[in-house]
Amino acid sequence: MIKEMMGLQLAITDEASRWFHRELSLPDKGAGIRFFGKAYGKTQVHDGFSVGMTRDDHPDQPIMAVEKDGVTYFVDPTDAWFFENLAMTVDYDAHLDEPKYEFKEE
């Protein structure tokens, strides 16, 4: 399943998918991860804001969603301001043992 809002793309690498499954003890199917913008931090495209994520198995009309390895990764409409006109790739940082978020402006 892929659902995209104009100017918003989301990709999850294999390594990131394995990290989410391992660290969050996700089942083989039916789980969900919601990404959102949060105050504090910094990204390549936002100063003063960073990416947050939480487990949410019941997306309600996401503006962007991609399914990988049985997990739906998505963004809610309330967070369009953070992700609009961006392509976000969620990868894995082996040195820090955590996800890393890479952005490109679309």
pLDDT of 32 reads 97
Helix or strand (DSSP H, E) at 14: helix 14-24
- 16 by DSSP, 3-state: which? helix
Inside any domain, residue 71:
yes
Q: Are strands 2-3 and 31-42 parallel, antiparallel or unpaired?
A: unpaired
Q: Which residue has the higher pLDDT, 27 or 2?
A: 27
Tally of domains within the chain:
1
pLDDT digits (tens, 9 = 90+) for 75-85: 999 888 878 88
Mean pLDDT of 48-58: 83
Half-sphere exposure of 1 (CA within 13 A, CB side): 15
Inside any domain, residue 28:
no
Q: Which residue has the higher pLDDT, 79 or 5?
A: 79
Half-sphere exposure of 43 (CA within 13 A, CB side): 23
Structural domain boundaries, residue 74: 2-23+34-105
Inside any domain, residue 95:
yes
pLDDT of 43 reads 54
Inside any domain, residue 29:
no
Q: Which residue has the higher pLDDT, 40 or 68?
A: 68
